Amino acid sequence: MEIKTDDYRIWHDPDSATVYMQGLLRLDGMEKYQSIMDVLLSVVDQLPSLTIDLRELEFLNSSGISMLSMFVVKVRDRGDVNLIFKGSDKVLWQTKSLKNLQRLMPSLVLQYE
């Protein structure tokens, strides 16, 4: 499962139970993130544990942050998924905004590399 454009690439690696998000994401409003949301939801539907690797996601606009928060709340409400966000402490938006998603779901694991 993969979404690829000139600006970003999102794909699922079943072996590591990881969804990778890379590049620049600044889509025009939350509804434009639906296809990405669909990938995340269909992957997490089959798994007890999921890692989202954001280390190479250099830019995410606030609509994208909204989409991630929506995903986090859906996973939180399911109650039986271990969710891990892998971030980079060299990407400013990740150091600024990811911690708020953890506040939505305290069991969310944030790993910075």
Angle formed at CA 96 by CA 64 and CA 45, multiple of 5 degrees: 45
User: How far is Cα 43 from Cα 65, in angstroms, rounded to an integer?
Assistant: 19
Give dist(CA 64, CA 45) in Å, integer. 21
Which range touches other proteins (CB under 8 A), out of 37-45, 46-54, 79-87, 89-97?
A: 89-97
- Residue from 42, 45, 78, 103 in contact with other proteins (CB under 8 A): 103
Q: Is residue 70 a contact residue for other proteins (CB under 8 A)?
A: yes
Interacting residues with other proteins (CB under 8 A): 24, 26, 28-30, 59, 61-63, 65-66, 69-70, 72-73, 89-93, 95-97, 100, 103-104
